[in-house]
Structure 1
Amino acid sequence: MASELGVARAHESRKSLIGVCDFDGILRGKHVLSDDASTEDRIIKFSEAVLAWDCTDRVIPASFGQELPSVFGDADLRVLPATARLVPTFHDRYLCLAEFAGAHETICPRGVLRKVLRRAADQGYSCSVGFEFEFTLFNESAETIHRKPYDQWVPLTRGPFGYSVARTLASNELFEAILAFCENTRLPLSGLHFETGPGVIEASLRHCDALEAADRAVFFKSMVKSWAQTRGLMATFMAKVSENGPGQSGHIHISMSSNGQNVFYDDKACRNISGTMNQFVGGQLKYMNDFCVLAAPNVNSYKRLLPGYWAPTCPSWGVDNRSCAVRVILGNKSAHRLEYRLSGADVNPYLALACAIGSGMLGIEENAGLATPTVGDASDERHSPFERLPQNLAEATIRFAQSSKAIDVFGDRFVEAFSRSRRWEWEAVQNRVSDCERERYFEAI
């Protein structure tokens, strides 16, 4: 049955849209109307410019070693027919993922995650992962969202009302549509509910193999945005949409196994937290500041990481403590896991997961120690022994670019290229004069 399904997907991929993930987690792609996409590992040509664009399609100078930033050729793209998913809003055609191969594989986000997972596999470990994403729906179209100032955008619901059953029942048709949409596109959910904040919804994707989980997360973000537009709505996964509310998270649930056994679980250890889990979490905390830019990749990301909003402000951990950067969730052998809470909804899923697992593997390799778990609010600096997270994108980028461990885990070419892209992102926003600045300074100064 599985082979028949693969053949069907390969056949349909001849008339598919092929999508590849850029540094910002945006799917870039094109229609492929030939046999080029019908075979596993088939290589097609695709513009290398997508690895040199920012989110507004401006070229990042010297983004990956180009001497002339205006000159870009074709790169090799490996099509992945097994990832093909039927898209109901796309005339029942398929969307199929691809990844950069050849000379560009070392800076391909999916390739970077595969590199990290190979490192874990070489030591006998495999990871099971589930992503959670919060996103905001606005009763706006792609046209009205650009005509109106932000403070006139109309969210799907008014005011904060997290976990509201009344709102869920009132929005039953919408929720049923989201559930059906995810089922039809092989993006199974384990939870769906209103979060606190106007128009904010949280979706929990069902856990699975780590690479497949990241593929699903990339699909989910892109498909939700396109699905919303077909219904006259706009969806955003910005980390912080408004200063008046909490940010939007992209939490990652991780468990790790060896020989079919959950290595995070030890029935003889205190709270069943194994020595391997101690090392893994220890590594995540030890390298969280150095690798932070992978989980907080935009200027806007750092406006979410504030005290009082269940977002981390330092590399902390705790048992079922949502104020911490790493939340250990106790359970039986199958449910015992951690939740990596640093990442926001704006992440590139491949890179955020590479960050979470790569730092954890360093902890295992180095037998990292683990501080006492935080009890109470981890953002309360009076009681926190931890150094604060980087305060902005520029600081996080510098730490990443200068980290020898980042080069060890992710590769020197990727660290250089991604750091350049984040410096560009910082400068692009810093040079803009905002409405907030005009309102604050125009008359007074």
Structure 2
Amino acid sequence: MTDARGACAKSGRTAMIGVSDFDGILRGKHALDKDFLDEDKVIKFSEAVLAWDCSDQVIPAGFTQKPLSAFGDADLRVLSGSGRSVSHVGDLYLYLAEFGGRHADICPRGILRKVLKRVADHGYGCTVGFEFEFMLFKESADTIQDKPFGEWAPLTRGPFGYSIARSVAHQELFGEILALCEKARIPLSGLHFESGPGAIEASLRHCDALEAADRAIIFKSMIKAWAQTRGLMATFMAKISEKWPGQSGHIHISVSSDGQNAFYDSGAVRNVSKLMSQFIGGQLKYMNDFSVLAVPNFNSYKRLVPGCWAPVCPSWGVDNRSCAVRVIPGGPSAHRLEYRLPGADVNPYLALASAIGSGILGIETNAALPASTVGDAGAEIGLPSGRFPQSLSEATYRFAQSPAAIDVFGERFVEAFSCSRRWEWEAVQHRVTDFERRRYFEVI
């Protein structure tokens, strides 16, 4: 495949630079200076990106002592090796970047690198694959604003999961998605219709953990942009309707040592090694404390309800999709776990940092692994492990007060991210919905 840097330089075109904010939204601009194509280069970029919510309202995040209206520039390190084409028409290249300098310790990608360094210091590496569910609507940005939700037209009507008929009927769209991902060096291992109107699931091929998160964040942004070029709108909301299934962002993880899968032990029950037991034990032990990184929005909690193929409490099981952690047995090359807490609305860097950071704490503390769940894990919400925090406010409080979170992610990041989530909670919780008016107006 042609190297992205060479192709971009040869064409004489400018490229785009993108960096993740707290919400996992790629913010950026076209670059007029191509020096970064040859080596990582530090440029200046507005620090306001780390102080905006998803509607560009300023969050008093506490990372700057300046007045809220007086944002300056931050150092941004452009990652020269990350360049890839992100458009199915022509050659439009995107390069990822990280915040540096005094903003490095609150940069989402930097937080994941920090966690992965801790893993590497123990002599381990992580292989990761993301899965995302998203919905396509036959709408535009204008019609979405102008029409009530009940009039939005999904790409397909009603549930029909894994439908071959629908896949064939929409083979042109599927073909474009597959080609776009291949062109962007984001190969997929699966693409199919999910059980919901216009619902599609894409499985991104596994690779090194940091590269997997890079692919995931580009994939989400790229799919939304591609959909608009086709007169469609794509959403990765965790729950768009109480009548439809939620949209997940599951993460597959394995840990290696000396080139071997350290999760696999041929002599152990279900091949679950001691290291894997410790890793899952840590994930379960700290899942509630770290959950806000995997369930980051007000809407996210509407997905975590019993009977909807989403976990409701810290639990694990062997090939059990009702659990928060699903062990997937296999040979040495395939044995892994699936971290099922995140929805599709996550910031991939932070969700993965949560999943791996809690696991490495489990290894460091020799965390005990509770009994596995056989059957519906939703029936265990009354057990000592309890259920997940029930709101963004509760999850944020637990994260902000967690010594383990400060240990893994750093005090400054915990403070800044917690502030952003409290802001998000306040922005939504006081809104009065049409449902409330219909339910209470006359009878109360």
Q: TM-score, normalised by structure 1?
A: 0.97
**Aligned residue number for residue 331 of structure 1:** 330
Q: CA deviation at 1:33?
A: 1.1
Cα deviation code 1:8-52 (max 9, x no counterpart) = 456679710100000000000011111343232200000000000
CA distance in 1: counterparts of 2:388 and 2:61, whole angstroms? 28
Amino acid of the residue matched to residue 284 of structure 1?
Q
CA distance in 1: counterparts of 2:190 and 2:25, whole angstroms? 24
Task: Give the conservation status (yes or no) of the 8 Å contact 1:38–1:81.
Answer: yes
**Aligned residue number for residue 210 of structure 1:** 209
CA distance in 1: counterparts of 2:227 and 2:376, whole angstroms? 36
CA distance in 2: counterparts of 1:156 and 1:332, whole angstroms? 38
Task: Give the conservation status (yes or no) of the 8 Å contact 1:14–1:36.
Answer: no
Q: CA deviation at 1:209?
A: 0.2
**Aligned residue number for residue 352 of structure 1:** 351
Amino acid of the residue matched to residue 408 of structure 1?
D
Amino acid of the residue matched to residue 209 of structure 2?
A
Superposed counterparts of 1:70-81, under 5 Å? 70-81=69-80
**Aligned residue number for residue 148 of structure 1:** 147
Task: Give the conservation status (yes or no) of the 8 Å contact 1:283–1:368.
Answer: yes
**Aligned residue number for residue 307 of structure 2:** 308
CA distance in 1: counterparts of 2:151 and 2:4, whole angstroms? 47
1:66–1:432 distance in 2 versus 1, CA, 3 Å: farther
Could you tell me which runs of 5 or more consecutive residues in structure 1 were left unpaired when the two chains were aligned: none
Amino acid of the residue matched to residue 441 of structure 1?
Y
CA distance in 1: counterparts of 2:122 and 2:40, whole angstroms? 26
Task: Give the conservation status (yes or no) of the 8 Å contact 1:86–1:92.
Answer: yes
1:262–1:419 distance in 2 versus 1, CA, 3 Å: same
**Aligned residue number for residue 285 of structure 1:** 284
**Aligned residue number for residue 231 of structure 1:** 230
SS at match of 2:379: coil
Q: CA deviation at 1:436?
A: 1.3
SS at match of 1:286: helix
Q: How high is the sequence identity, in percent, across the aligned residues?
A: 71
Task: Give the conservation status (yes or no) of the 8 Å contact 1:11–1:38.
Answer: no
Say which is worse superposed, 265-274 or 196-205, in terms of deviation.
265-274
SS at match of 1:143: helix
CA distance in 2: counterparts of 1:403 and 1:246, whole angstroms? 32
**Aligned residue number for residue 88 of structure 1:** 87
- Pair 1:423 & 2:411 matched: no
1:9–1:256 distance in 2 versus 1, CA, 3 Å: farther
Q: CA deviation at 1:305?
A: 0.4
SS at match of 1:343: coil
Cα deviation code 1:316-346 (max 9, x no counterpart) = 0000000000000000000000000000000
Task: Give the conservation status (yes or no) of the 8 Å contact 1:283–1:361.
Answer: yes
1:8–1:382 distance in 2 versus 1, CA, 3 Å: closer
**Aligned residue number for residue 255 of structure 2:** 256
Q: CA deviation at 1:89?
A: 4.5
Q: CA deviation at 1:63?
A: 4.0
Q: CA deviation at 1:91?
A: 3.9
**Aligned residue number for residue 120 of structure 2:** 121
1:427–1:5 distance in 2 versus 1, CA, 3 Å: closer
Amino acid of the residue matched to residue 153 of structure 1?
W
Say which is worse superposed, 66-75 or 376-385, in terms of deviation.
376-385
CA distance in 2: counterparts of 1:358 and 1:351, whole angstroms? 10
CA distance in 1: counterparts of 2:108 and 2:360, whole angstroms? 18
CA distance in 2: counterparts of 1:378 and 1:94, whole angstroms? 44
CA distance in 1: counterparts of 2:357 and 2:202, whole angstroms? 25
Task: Give the conservation status (yes or no) of the 8 Å contact 1:13–1:81.
Answer: no
Amino acid of the residue matched to residue 72 of structure 2?
G
Task: Give the conservation status (yes or no) of the 8 Å contact 2:88–2:176.
Answer: no
Task: Give the conservation status (yes or no) of the 8 Å contact 1:41–1:78.
Answer: yes
Tell me which stretches of 4 or more aligned residues in structure 1 moved more than 6 Å. Answer: 10-14
Q: TM-score, normalised by structure 2?
A: 0.97
CA distance in 2: counterparts of 1:332 and 1:13, whole angstroms? 48
SS at match of 1:191: strand
CA RMSD of superposed structures (Å): 1.6
CA distance in 2: counterparts of 1:60 and 1:176, whole angstroms? 40
Q: CA deviation at 1:437?
A: 1.4
**Aligned residue number for residue 42 of structure 1:** 41
Task: Give the conservation status (yes or no) of the 8 Å contact 2:249–2:344.
Answer: yes
**Aligned residue number for residue 380 of structure 1:** 379
CA distance in 2: counterparts of 1:400 and 1:67, whole angstroms? 26
1:131–1:12 distance in 2 versus 1, CA, 3 Å: farther
CA distance in 1: counterparts of 2:65 and 2:8, whole angstroms? 36
Could you tell me which runs of 5 or more consecutive residues in structure 2 were left unpaired when the two chains were aligned: none
